[in-house]
C-alpha cells in the first residue's frame, strides 16, 4: 500500500468531448454540463446503467446479529429485504411477494422465523422458500410450484470485511475486482480493531433537495472547507485547536476515490485531543500502540493519525475521521436524495468511549452538526440555481467548471485535496457509465503515477 505521493513524469492525457463532459488538457479546462443535475432523462439513465449494473452498498453484517434479523432497505428505487437467515447466512430479497407483488415486510426492521405476506397469507422461510399458503390444493399436487414461487433474491450478493454489497446484474464482475485498489482502504477501516467492527445502534436519516452527485462532489472537495465551515473553524480557534488541509491528497482508485489528510490526529480511539478529556488519554494511547504493533509502524501510523474520506462508486461514502460514519445515498429524483447514516466502532469498545464517539460524530457530520447543514445548504443552493442557465447555448454558460489543479494532474504531481482532481475523476467514471461503458473491474481512468494509489 502506497501512503505517500511522489512527483512523477508528465502524464499523457487525452481530452474528451461528450454530451456532459468537456475536457481540454491543452487549455486546462474541465466542464460538466448542468443537465447532469436536473434532467429526468439522465436520472433514468443512471438508474439503468449505474444502479442497475454496478455494485451497491446494502449494509453491514453486524446490523443483523441474530438469525431472523432483517432490515428493509431501498437501492435504486427497489425495496429490498436485508436479512440473516436461520442458518446465519446473509441474504437479500426483493421486498415483493412473487404471487401478486405485495410488499412482504412492512416494518423497517425486526426478527422473524417466517415472512408472511398480509394480502393472501403466503408465508416464506428466511431462505426465501414458500412454506405455507391458503388452499394449496389449487396448485399442482407435486408441490414443485413452491420452488418457483419463493422470494426473489437479488442477482448477486457479496461481503467484504463485513460490508455487504449487492448487484442487480448477473454479469457484474466479482466484488473484489470491482473494488480494485480501493479495497485496501476498506481493509484499513475494518482493521481498526483486532476483534472486528460493528455498527452502533441508531440510524440517521435525512433528505437533500439536491442531486446525489452533488453530495459526492462535496465529500471529495477540500476546496470548500474554509469558506463553507467558518463556524467550525471559529470554534476550533476558540478552543485552542487548529485544522489544515496542508499536505492532503486525493487517491484515484479505479471507479472509487479516497481523500487523505495525513498526520491530522483527532480520531476517537486512535489519537487524542484535549477536548476528549484526560480520561480518554490512557485508553487511546493503549489502543494506538496495539494498532501499530499489529499492523506495523507505517500502516498503523497512517491509520491512527490521518483522516480519510472514501467514496465507493456509486452510493457509499465512508467518513473515517474523528469517528467513522457510513453514509448511503439513495437518489429519489434528479433533485432529491435520501441519506442514511450509521456509526461504526470496534466491537469491544467500552460504552463510555462509544458514547463519546457518537457525540463527536453528530457534532460535526451529523445532520444537525457543525458541517452537514452547511454542506446541505450549499448543495441545495446549487440545485436551485442550475436552472438559471438552462437552455443558454452560448459556449460555457450552462456548464460547471471543475478545472482547479489540472496542471498538477497533467504533470503527474501529487493530487491535492483542495484541488478538483477527485471530482474530475468521479465525473469521468460517471460519464463512461451513463454512456454505456458500464462499471467493470476498474477502468483505470485517471490512474496515472504520482496520485498516491494503493
Residue 111's domain comprises 57-160
Segment 184-234, tens digit of pLDDT: 999 999 999 999 999 999 999 999 999 999 999 999 887 666 566 556 656
Q: Are residues 229 and 104 in the same domain?
A: no
Joined grid coordinates for residue 51:
444502479
Q: Are residues 208 and 133 in the same domain?
A: no
pTM flag (> 0.95): no
Position 89 in a domain: yes
Q: Are residues 230 and 117 in the same domain?
A: no
Structural domains of the chain, count: 2
Give dist(CA 454, CA 451) in Å, integer: 9
Segment 263-281, tens digit of pLDDT: 655 555 665 566 677 777 7
List the CATH number of the domain containing 87: 2.102.10.10
Position 4 in a domain: no
Q: What is the pLDDT along the chain (454 residues), one digit of tens a residue?
A: 554 444 344 455 778 899 999 999 999 999 999 999 999 999 999 999 999 999 999 999 999 999 999 999 999 999 999 999 999 999 999 999 999 999 999 999 999 999 999 999 999 999 999 999 999 988 888 888 898 999 999 999 999 999 999 999 999 999 999 999 999 999 999 999 999 999 999 999 999 999 999 999 999 887 666 566 556 656 555 655 555 555 688 889 999 999 987 765 555 566 556 667 777 778 888 888 999 999 999 999 888 887 889 999 999 999 988 789 999 999 999 999 999 999 999 999 999 889 988 988 888 888 888 788 888 999 999 999 999 999 999 999 999 999 999 998 888 888 888 899 999 999 999 999 998 655 544 443 333 322 333 2
Position 1 in a domain: no
Position 442 in a domain: no
Position 66 in a domain: yes
The answer to whether residues 417 and 5 touch, using CB atoms and an 8 Å cutoff, is no
Please give the full DSSP string across 229-287, using - where no structure is assigned.
THHHHHHHHHTT-----TT-EEEEETTEEEEEETT----TTTS--GGG-HHHHHHHHHH
Please give the full DSSP string across 348-372, using - where no structure is assigned.
T--HHHHHHHHHHHHHHTSTTSSSH
Q: Are residues 250 and 399 in the same domain?
A: yes
Position 173 in a domain: no
Q: Are residues 138 and 267 in the same domain?
A: no
Position 10 in a domain: no
The answer to whether residues 236 and 375 touch, using CB atoms and an 8 Å cutoff, is no
Q: Are residues 101 and 119 in the same domain?
A: yes
List the CATH number of the domain containing 412: 3.90.380.10
Q: Are residues 337 and 191 in the same domain?
A: yes
Tell which residue, 319, 418, 298, has the closest CA to residue 361: 319
Position 169 in a domain: no
Amino acid at each position: 500500500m502506497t501512503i505517500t505521493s511522489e512527483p512523477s513524469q508528465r502524464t499523457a492525457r487525452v481530452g474528451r468531448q461528450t454530451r456532459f463532459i468537456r475536457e481540454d488538457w491543452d487549455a486546462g479546462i474541465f466542464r460538466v454540463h448542468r443537465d447532469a443535475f436536473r434532467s429526468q432523462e439522465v436520472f433514468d439513465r443512471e438508474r439503468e446503467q449505474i444502479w442497475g449494473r454496478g455494485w451497491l452498498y446494502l449494509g453491514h453484517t453486524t446490523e443483523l446479529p441474530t438469525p431472523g434479523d432483517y432490515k428493509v432497505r431501498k437501492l435504486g428505487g427497489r425495496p429490498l429485504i436485508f436479512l440473516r437467515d436461520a442458518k446465519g447466512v446473509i441474504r437479500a430479497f426483493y421486498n415483493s411477494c412473487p404471487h401478486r407483488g405485495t410488499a412482504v415486510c412492512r416494518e423497517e426492521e425486526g426478527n422473524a422465523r417466517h415472512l408472511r405476506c398480509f394480502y393472501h397469507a403466503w408465508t416464506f422461510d428466511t431462505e426465501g422458500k414458500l412454506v405455507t399458503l391458503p388452499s394449496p390444493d389449487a396448485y399442482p399436487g407435486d408441490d414443485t410450484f413452491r420452488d418457483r414461487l419463493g422470494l426473489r433474491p437479488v442477482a448477486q450478493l457479496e461481503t467484504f470485511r463485513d460490508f455487504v454489497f449487492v448487484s442487480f446484474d448477473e454479469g457484474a464482475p466479482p466484488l473484489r475486482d470491482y473494488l480494485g485498489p480501493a479495497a485496501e482502504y476498506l481493509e484499513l477501516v475494518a482493521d481498526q480493531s483486532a476483534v472486528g467492527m460493528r455498527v452502533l445502534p441508531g440510524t440517521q436519516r435525512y433528505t437533500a433537495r439536491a442531486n446525489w452527485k452533488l453530495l459526492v462532489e462535496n465529500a471529495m472537495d477540500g476546496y470548500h472547507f474554509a469558506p463553507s465551515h467558518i463556524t467550525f473553524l471559529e470554534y476550533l480557534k476558540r478552543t485552542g485547536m487548529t485544522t489544515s488541509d496542508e499536505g492532503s491528497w486525493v487517491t484515484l482508485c479505479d471507479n472509487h476515490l479516497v481523500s487523505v489528510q495525513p498526520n491530522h490526529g483527532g480520531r476517537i480511539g486512535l489519537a487524542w485531543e484535549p477536548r476528549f478529556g484526560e480520561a480518554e488519554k490512557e485508553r487511546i494511547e493503549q489502543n494506538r500502540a496495539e494498532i501499530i504493533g499489529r499492523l506495523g509502524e507505517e500502516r498503523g501510523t497512517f491509520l491512527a493519525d490521518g483522516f480519510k474520506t472514501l467514496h465507493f462508486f456509486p452510493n457509499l461514502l465512508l467518513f473515517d475521521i474523528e469517528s467513522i460514519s457510513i453514509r448511503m445515498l439513495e437518489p429519489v429524483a434528479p433533485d432529491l436524495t435520501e441519506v442514511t447514516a450509521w456509526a461504526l466502532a470496534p466491537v469491544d469498545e467500552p460504552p463510555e468511549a462509544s458514547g463519546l464517539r457518537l457525540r463527536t460524530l453528530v457534532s460535526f457530520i451529523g445532520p444537525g452538526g457543525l458541517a452537514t447543514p452547511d454542506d446541505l445548504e450549499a448543495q441545495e443552493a446549487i440545485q436551485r440555481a442550475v436552472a438559471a442557465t438552462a437552455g443558454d447555448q452560448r459556449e460555457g454558460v450552462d456548464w460547471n467548471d471543475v478545472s482547479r489543479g489540472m496542471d498538477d494532474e497533467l504533470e503527474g504531481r501529487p493530487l491535492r485535496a483542495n484541488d478538483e482532481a477527485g471530482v474530475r475523476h468521479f465525473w469521468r467514471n460517471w460519464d463512461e457509465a451513463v454512456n454505456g461503458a458500464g462499471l467493470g473491474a476498474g477502468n483505470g481512468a485517471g490512474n496515472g503515477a504520482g496520485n498516491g494509489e494503493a
